[in-house]
Amino acid sequence: MRKNCESKMRSSKLDNSAWKNAILNMKKEMKFQNKALKTERSYIYWVKKFNAILFLFRHILDKQIHNLDSVVRSKVQRRLPLVLSQREVSEIIKRMGNPYRLMTEIIYGGGLRLSECLRLRI
């Protein structure tokens, strides 16, 4: 029993270093692809969770998980951005009251951000 436990500890350490290398490689690749820091943290979080599940099955429950290549990944639903026509924008702006109408016209016409509009001095 003790030898079995020691061999599991050694293989666990090997698995752990392999996962650390994988995470480092992931970070490098994500930086290369200009992924956001939030995306990087999210991916690494889920890799660590997956690693914990694999550890549970392999070393605690003594069950090997095979054929992970056939696992289907979920597809990210892509949304198209909502773009309004000039007529729709002018209809919306016409229905606004002051001072919001003026602010909206400045933001829309000048391509400003809300924070930039709020900092304007007139």
Q: What is the per-residue pLDDT across 52-98, written as a single tens digit (0 to 9) for each?
A: 887 778 778 888 877 766 666 656 677 777 888 889 989 999 999 98
The CA distance from 60 to 112, in Å, is 57
What is the C-alpha separation between 47 and 53, in angstroms, rounded?
Answer: 10
Of 6-10, 51-55, 107-111, the range with the lowest mean pLDDT is 6-10
Q: Counting beta carbons within 10 angstroms of the beta carbon of residue 51, is it exposed (0 to 12), middle (13 to 18) or buried (19 or more)?
A: middle
Contact between residue 30 and residue 40 where contact means Cβ atoms under 8 Å apart = yes
Q: What is the mean pLDDT of the segment spanning 24-50?
A: 86
pTM of the model: 0.42
Q: Residue 116: which pLDDT band, with cuts at 50, 70 and 90?
A: very high
In 3D, which of 53, 88, 44, 87 has the Cα closest to residue 71? 53
Hey, where are the domains in the chain?
2-65, 86-118
CA nearest to 46, candidates 62, 21, 23: 23
Question: What confidence category does residue 5 fall into, taking pLDDT thresholds of 50, 70 and 90?
Answer: low
- With contact defined as beta carbons under 8 Å apart, do 96 and 104 qualify? yes
